[in-house]
């Protein structure tokens, strides 16, 4: 397996151990980090929301207390005015202008005016001294009628522009009217009247503006009466001008406490706290955007921390993955590099974990056993090849013996005993060389001597019907050749070349060296063959199916040379009808030594060539 | 493989470094970062300290506060000429992100406005109907419907006289105010046309009337701007036997006082708070979303009499709560 196969895609299943560990750990830890971060954020958000709400509740409570103190002051001022000044006076004779002015001066930063009206709405006394607007119908004012109708209570009006006294400086004041029924004694007769304290509305505005100014996250407070009419709102003018809206009408139905409401397409938390006595409701609004704003910094911080954690986790996972996979990778490399002759080294696994050591030893044993098996297979193959060679070689002997004995029989039948004796002697020489002490590789000189003996026998048989020439190069006599490769070619040259010629046939045997190869040619001037027939001569099937016998020997020679020296060597046949045939043997030039012989005998064609 | 591993490790460490550095820089810059630059809007109106502008200015300030815009309300007197005003506006434009301007229209003003609108967000108030609107929405106008105001005045005057205990022929004098302002010209034109419908022709029309003698020939005076309405009120206040009914367009504390005192029979009050608020809103929106064209707007007006002066509906418009 190559390295490129080791690094596959995620979708593939061929990730390395290191990658698998890194990926698995990273996915698991990233998921855990994200879930933890998300959970922490949710908890923080909920806690933050709770804290903001509680803080707003506390702020609202304090604002209500401040408002109540302010309104209590106003009621106490009214009480003091009534019980200390008005109640015991007889207005027939007494005037309260001085006392009223004194009270006004005392509270002038909080009140716009003090006024005492009779039941009919006529002004009894007022401070500061001012001219009442002409044509006023005070009795029709709501603050007046409420005071008369509910005599036990103080009554706080909604903010309105005071419409009682003429101010030549064109000034108009926003006030909240605090009215109450009083008893006025005139000439000893008690009568009903109304005491009016016009509170400076800007005090309440300033008070609540200051509280709202402290909120920078969009929270705000507003004040309504018990019917939901707005008394104060930080956007009072915008609401009055119909530029903005407020959910004040719904507030009338709200109980004190915290609640959620939807308004203007936004969900928001509202805290309602009722101001005692007046029934006014102070409403704190926390828009959902306020929560988001307060959490945005936390959110970015959390994302930052999680990003750093994730990268650190990837880094650590890489180190861990490398540590775990290192022995496996080392063993893997050793297994890759190991071959039949190079065993898996011990140091490739002996420092690894127990499992790796066991695996390494097992692989090492397998590798050794495998190498042994390979050697056995090679040896068996060699033996098989050798036996095949022997089989091929054994095909020569009966063929040649048959032909020779045929010649000897012919001589004896024709009474040529001397020639027969000589021929048998030649035959004995041939067999001696054939045996060659069992060697397959012999020197070229032996092979040529064998060929000469053979041709001597054939010339006796054919009564010198053809000539034979051997033009051997003495320099090549001590080079290796496979034995019995010339004789089958000579046999073919005789039987299919020159035997039946009317004129004298000629067979010439030559040898020469060209480069690293040696060539031996057998040339005859016989009948020759066509190209198609030549092309068929060295084919196994053709040789087996040869109808007139030629080719069996040629194929055997060709195959034996190739088995011993390789596919580049063997026979080459050139023939032309009525001209003759040349068979050229080619094999590598290997000096004949005992060492080379043994090497070639053992089938080392690759080593020898 | 090892080289790739080293590269990945290096990238991871570099990533952590970048994040930590970004975080550090962000957190420190949050502490020391100067506040985000606020948008700067200048308002140029004629005679800016006049009480006529109190409610308009209140609207501007509320909007500026809501949108966190820095408001520069330029202190001006009465402009001698449109050129003088344009000179001041050009100067303000170069130093402001947005401009809100009451324009004294002239032949050259349209070209000048287009030039200014190329570099500065521009909102015009009290713009005449004849002033060419910006086709591409690079500037816009806001104001009341002058024609409707003229018609409403005429109708109020006519109805008051018809419902009077002692109906008499209406003899009307009109104080038209500064006719250099196209909007004043339009109001006058609309008023006279509406009176024509009732068969009334003004006895006189003057830009200003500064003495009671001027009112000898009429029983009704209509002042078409706040300054002249105040002036007419001042004059009639000295009249021991009030015989002239005063109407007009106004919005100052003084005119309200005169209305409250009965010196002014009825008064048209434009919703100047709303005009100021919406003018600033339009400029702010344009500054934040420059691709959205500006749009002309109209604001409403109310006919105020002594009877409805203190109604809940009119209180907040006439007496803005200015903290």
Separation in Å, CA B57 to CA A202, B143, B294:
19, 14, 21
Domain total in chain A: 2
pLDDT score recorded for residue A12: 47
Domain end: A264, A293, A322, which one?
Answer: A293
Sheet holding A517-524, edge to edge: A466-471, A505-514, A517-524, A580-588, A570-576
Shared-domain flag, residues A269 and A409: no
State pLDDT tens for residues A227-260.
999 999 999 999 988 899 999 999 888 999 999 9
Show the tokens assigned to B317: 């418009």
Are A236 and B310 an interchain contact pair (Cβ–Cβ within 8 Å)? no
Query: What is the three-class DSSP state of A259?
Result: strand
Give me the residues of A, 392-421, that contact B with CB < 8 A.
none
Q: Mark whether A486 and A578 lie in a shared domain.
A: yes
For residues A277 and A279, give the distance between their C-alpha atoms in angstroms, rounded to a whole number: 6
Q: Tell me how far apart the alpha carbons of residues B18 and B12 are, in angstroms, rounded to a whole number.
A: 10
CATH architecture of B40-144+272-300: 3-Layer(aba) Sandwich (3.40)
Query: B146-270: CATH homologous superfamily?
Result: Response regulator (3.40.50.2300)
**In a domain? residue A49:** no
Phi and psi of A200, rounded to 5°? -70, 115
A531-542 pLDDT, tens digit per residue, is 888 888 888 665
Is the same domain home to A384 and A531? yes
Domain end call among A252, A268, A293? A293
Residue in A171, A237, A308 closest to B273 by CB: A237
Q: Which member of B254, B278, B323 has the closest CB to residue A170?
A: B254
Q: Residue ranges per domain, chain B?
A: 40-144+272-300, 146-270
The answer to whether residue A211 sits within a structural domain is yes
What is the pLDDT confidence band of residue B103, given thresholds at 50, 70 and 90?
A: confident
Q: What is the mean pLDDT of chain A?
A: 84
- A401 shares a domain with A502: yes
Q: Which residues of B touch A230 (CB under 8 A)?
A: none
Domain-embedded: residue A568:
yes
Give the separation between CA A586 and CA A558, rounded to whole angstroms: 10
Tell whether B20 is within 8 A of chain A (Cβ).
Answer: yes
The string of pLDDT tens digits covering residues B166-197 is 777 889 999 988 887 778 888 999 999 999 99
What is the ipTM for the molecules in this complex?
A: 0.84
Enumerate the residues of chain B whose CB falls inside 8 A of the CB of residue A161: 310, 315, 318-319
- The pLDDT of A587-609, averaged and rounded, is 76
Residue A4 is predicted with a pLDDT of: 40
The answer to whether residue A267 sits within a structural domain is: yes
Its domain, for residue A439, covers: 377-608
Query: Using CB atoms and an 8 Å cut-off, which of residues 248-287 of chain B contact chain A?
Result: 253-254, 256-257, 260-261, 271, 273-274, 277-278
| B14 → chain A, closest CA residue | A311
Is the per-residue pLDDT at A394 higher than 60? Answer: no
| Whether the predicted pLDDT of A608 surpasses 50 | no
The answer to whether B23 faces chain A, any CB pair under 8 Å, is yes
Cβ distance of B316 and A237 shorter than 8 Å: yes
Is residue A191 within 8 Å of residue A118, measured between CB atoms?
Answer: yes
| Listed range (A108-117, A170-179, A349-358, B60-69) with the worst mean pLDDT | A349-358
Residue A112: φ, ψ to 5°: -90, -40
Instruction: Answer whether residue A77 is part of any domain.
Output: no
**Per-residue pLDDT for A10 more than 50?**
no
Interface mutation target, options A3, A164, A241, chain B, most CBs of B under 10 Å: A241
- Identify which of A167, A206, A311 has the shortest CB distance to residue B16: A311
Residue A170 contacts B where some CB pair is shorter than 8 Å: yes
For residue A281, being part of any structural domain is answered with: yes
Strands (E), A201-304: 220-224, 230-232, 257-263, 266-274, 281-287
Among A205, A209, A240, whose Cβ lies nearest the Cβ of B316? A240
Looking at the fold, whether A428 and A559 belong to one and the same domain comes out as yes
Equal CATH topology for B40-144+272-300 and B146-270: yes
Helices (H), B68-169: 82-94, 109-119, 146-163
**What CATH code is carried by the domain that includes residue A226?**
3.30.450.20
| B9/A315 CB distance under 8 A | yes
A174 at interface of B, judged by CB pairs closer than 8 A = yes
Alpha carbons within 13 angstroms on the beta-carbon side of residue A191 total 18
Residues A573, A452: one domain? yes
Per mean pLDDT, which range of A246-250, A287-291, B254-258, B293-297 is the poorest? Answer: A287-291
Instruction: Return the pLDDT at A383.
Output: 66
Domain boundary pick from A232, A264, A293: A293
The two tokens of residue A580 are 């003759």
Tokens of residue B58, six digits: 């209140």
Chain-wide mean pLDDT for chain B?
Answer: 85
- Using a CB–CB cutoff of 8 Å, tell me whether A133 touches chain B: yes
Beta carbons of A585 and A521 less than 8 angstroms apart = yes
Q: How far is CA A173 from the centre of its chain?
A: 74
Express as a percent the part of chain A with pLDDT over 90. Answer: 37
Please indicate, yes or no, whether residues A552 and A428 belong to a single structural domain of this protein: yes
How many residues would you count in chain A? 609
Residue B241 token pair: 């036997």
Partnered with residue A588 across adjacent β-strands are A517
Confidence of residue B323 (pLDDT cuts 50, 70, 90): low
Residue B84: band (very low, low, confident or very high) from pLDDT cuts 50, 70, 90: confident
Residue A423: CATH number of its domain: 3.30.565.10
Res. A5 pLDDT band, cuts 50 70 90: very low
């Amino acid at each position: 397996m190559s390295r490129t196969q080791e690094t596959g895609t995620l979708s593939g299943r061929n990730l390395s151990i290191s990658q698998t560990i890194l990926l698995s750990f990273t996915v698991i830890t990233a998921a855990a980090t994200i879930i933890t971060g998300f959970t922490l954020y949710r908890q923080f958000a909920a806690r933050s929301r709770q804290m903001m709400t509680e803080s707003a509740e506390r702020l609202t409570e304090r604002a209500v207390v401040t408002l109540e103190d302010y309104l209590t002051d106003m009621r106490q001022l009214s009480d003091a005015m009534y019980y200390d000044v008005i109640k015991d006076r007889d207005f027939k004779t007494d005037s309260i202008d001085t006392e009223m002015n004194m009270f006004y001066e005392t509270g002038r930063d909080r009140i716009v005016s003090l006024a005492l009206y009779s039941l009919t709405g006529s002004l009894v006394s007022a401070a500061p001294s001012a001219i009442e607007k002409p044509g006023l119908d005070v009795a029709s004012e709501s603050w007046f009628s409420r005071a008369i109708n509910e005599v036990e209570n103080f009554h706080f009006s909604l903010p309105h522009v005071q419409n009682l006294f003429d101010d030549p400086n064109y000034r108009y004041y926003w006030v909240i009217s605090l009215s109450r029924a009083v008893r006025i004694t005139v000439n000893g007769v008690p009568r009903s009247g109304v005491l009016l304290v016009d509170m400076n509305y800007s005090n309440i505005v300033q008070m609540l503006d200051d509280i709202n100014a402290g909120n920078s996250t969009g929270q705000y407070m507003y004040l309504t009466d018990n019917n939901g009419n707005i008394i104060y709102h930080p956007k009072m003018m915008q609401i009055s001008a119909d530029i903005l809206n407020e959910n004040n009408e719904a507030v009338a139905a709200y109980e004190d406490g915290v609640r959620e409401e939807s308004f203007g397409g936004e969900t928001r938390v509202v805290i309602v706290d009722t101001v005692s006595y007046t029934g006014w409701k102070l409403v704190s609004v926390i828009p959902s955007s306020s929560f988001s704003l307060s959490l945005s910094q936390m959110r970015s911080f959390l994302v930052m921390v999680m990003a750093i954690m994730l990268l650190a986790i990837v880094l650590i996972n890489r180190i861990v993955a490398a540590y775990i996979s290192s022995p496996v990778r080392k063993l893997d490399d050793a297994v890759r590099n190991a071959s039949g002759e190079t065993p898996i080294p011990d140091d490739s696994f002996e420092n690894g974990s127990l499992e790796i050591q066991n695996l390494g030893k097992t692989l090492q044993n397998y590798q050794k056993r495998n190498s042994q098996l390979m050697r056995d297979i090679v040896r068996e193959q060699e033996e098989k090849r050798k036996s095949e060679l022997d089989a091929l070689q054994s095909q020569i002997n009966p063929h040649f013996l048959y032909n020779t004995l045929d010649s000897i029989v012919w001589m004896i039948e024709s009474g040529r005993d001397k020639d027969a004796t000589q021929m048998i002697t030649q035959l004995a020489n041939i067999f001696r060389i054939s045996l060659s002490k069992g060697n397959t590789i012999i020197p070229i000189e032996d092979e040529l001597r064998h060929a000469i003996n053979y041709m001597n026998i054939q010339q006796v048989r054919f009564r010198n019907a053809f000539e034979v020439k051997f033009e051997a190069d003495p320099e090549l006599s001590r080079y290796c050749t496979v034995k019995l490769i010339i004789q089958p070619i000579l046999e073919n040259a005789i039987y299919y070349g020159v035997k039946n010629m009317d004129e004298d046939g000629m067979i010439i045997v030559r040898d020469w060296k060209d480069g690293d190869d040696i060539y031996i040619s057998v040339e005859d001037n016989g009948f020759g063959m066509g190209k198609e027939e030549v092309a068929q001569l060295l084919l196994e099937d053709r040789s087996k199916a040869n109808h007139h016998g030629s080719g069996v020997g040629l194929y055997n020679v060709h195959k034996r040379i190739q088995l011993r020296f390789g596919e580049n060597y063997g026979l080459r046949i050139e023939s032309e009808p009525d001209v003759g045939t040349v068979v050229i043997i080619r094999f590598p030039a290997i000096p004949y030594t005992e060492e080379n012989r043994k090497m070639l005998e053992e089938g080392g064609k690759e080593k020898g060539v | 493989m090892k080289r790739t591993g080293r590269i990945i490790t290096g990238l991871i460490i570099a990533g952590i470094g970048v994040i930590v550095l970004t975080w550090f820089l962000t957190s420190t810059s949050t502490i020391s970062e100067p506040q985000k630059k606020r948008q700067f809007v200048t308002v140029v109106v004629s005679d800016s300290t006049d009480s006529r502008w109190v409610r308009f200015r209140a609207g501007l300030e509320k909007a500026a506060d809501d949108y966190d815009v820095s408001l520069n309300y330029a202190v001006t007197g009465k402009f001698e000429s449109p050129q003088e005003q344009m000179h001041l506006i050009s100067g303000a434009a170069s130093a402001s992100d947005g401009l809100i301007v009451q324009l004294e229209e002239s032949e050259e003003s349209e070209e000048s406005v287009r030039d200014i609108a190329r570099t500065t967000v521009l909102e015009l108030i009290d713009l005449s109907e004849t002033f060419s609107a910006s086709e591409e929405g690079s500037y816009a106008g806001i104001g009341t419907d002058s024609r409707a105001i003229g018609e409403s005045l005429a109708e109020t005057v006519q109805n008051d006289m018809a419902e009077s205990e002692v109906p008499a022929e209406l003899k009307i004098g009109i104080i038209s105010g500064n006719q250099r302002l196209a909007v004043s010209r339009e109001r006058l034109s609309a008023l006279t046309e509406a009176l024509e419908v009732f068969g009334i022709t003004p006895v006189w029309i003057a830009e200003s009337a500064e003495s009671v003698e001027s009112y000898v020939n009429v029983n009704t005076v209509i002042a078409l701007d706040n300054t002249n309405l105040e002036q007419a009120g001042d004059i009639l206040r000295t009249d021991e036997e009030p015989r002239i009914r005063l109407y007009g367009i106004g919005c100052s504390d003084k005119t309200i006082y005169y209305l409250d005192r009965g010196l002014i029979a009825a008064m048209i009050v434009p919703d100047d708070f709303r005009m100021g608020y919406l003018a600033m809103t339009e400029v702010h929106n344009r500054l934040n979303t420059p691709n959205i064209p500006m749009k002309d707007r109209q604001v409403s007006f109310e006919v105020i009499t002594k009877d409805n002066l203190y109604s809940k509906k009119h209180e907040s418009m006439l007496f803005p709560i200015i903290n």
